[in-house]
Amino acid sequence: MLFVSATLQNEPMKATLRYLAGMAGPSGFGSNSTAEQVTEDSSCFLSSPLTALITGASSGIGAETARVLAKRGVRVVIAARDLKKAREVKRNIQKESPKAEVVLLEIDLSSFGSVQRFCSEFLALELPLNILINNAGIFCQNLEFSEDKIETTFATNYLGHFLLTEILLDKMIETAEKTGIQGRIINVSSVIHSWVKKDGFRFNDILSGKKYNGTRAYAQSKLANILHAKEIAKQLKARNARVTINAVHPGIVKTGIIRAHKGLLTGSSNNVLCCSELKNRSDKWKILCRL
């Protein structure tokens, strides 16, 4: 009994060591794998034109995800707050992949009004929607509020994506029914979600920024992303929809968030892995080294 208990306690440490060492899991990929390697066999993309909407794709892992998906023939819709940066990303993508189709639309995920305007503009384009990657995120060292008077980290990282998904979900289900291709929603979360204590997740305090701590606020928003994925998965199953949702810890690479908080590390290969797996598993918390 003691041996079994010790083995179970060591499993998280073993998983962490495998992760840091870059050892491949059952999927054939590890934490050293790149997004290009994950999508190298992209036959699942080529069977039919796909459209992917990626938030926060003007820099960091969002931009890398957009680049690689565009390289594999996916139409990419970049939802960005900074259109100047987004245009630069588009130029770089089309320089590498001249035939890439890249659409730019402005969005401020901390603003409900901006999210609603974005959705209206996107739906007016009458494009299909196969993939939704809720990637954008911020870290606020000091307490800030959105125009809707909600703590900015939670408003941006969770509430904005919640509303975006809610409005576009029917379009995704419709696209999957018409094309016969399973739709994918990916919520980019973080292992930092585990820093939130069970009794510390108080919704009203989160909205108001009560007893604010930047790291805790970020962790709470990432936990909310996971809870959102689990709830949407239940709804999709009840509707018998051909759409799955996953929450992912994206991997290890420095991003813009590092400028605000030097302890956060993320990457892009797990985002595209959730897009490219032929048999996508809904509502699972995915860490690349464990696949």
Using CA atoms, how far apart are residues 187 and 228, in angstroms rounded to an integer? 9
- Helix (H/G/I), strand (E/B), else coil: 77: strand
Catalytic residue among 19, 158, 212, 218: 212
Task: Look at the alpha carbons of 210, 259, 156, 189 in this order and tell me if their dihedral is positive or negative.
Answer: negative
Using CA atoms, how far apart are residues 117 and 107, in angstroms rounded to an integer? 8
Ordered strands of the 243-249 beta sheet? 102-106, 75-80, 51-55, 131-134, 183-188, 243-249, 285-287
Asked if 218 is an active-site residue, the reply is: no
Q: Is 148 exposed, middle or buried (0-12, 13-18, 19+ CB in 10 A)?
A: middle
Residue 250 vs residues 26, 47, 53, 116: alpha-carbon distances, Å: 17, 26, 17, 27
Residues designated as active site: 212
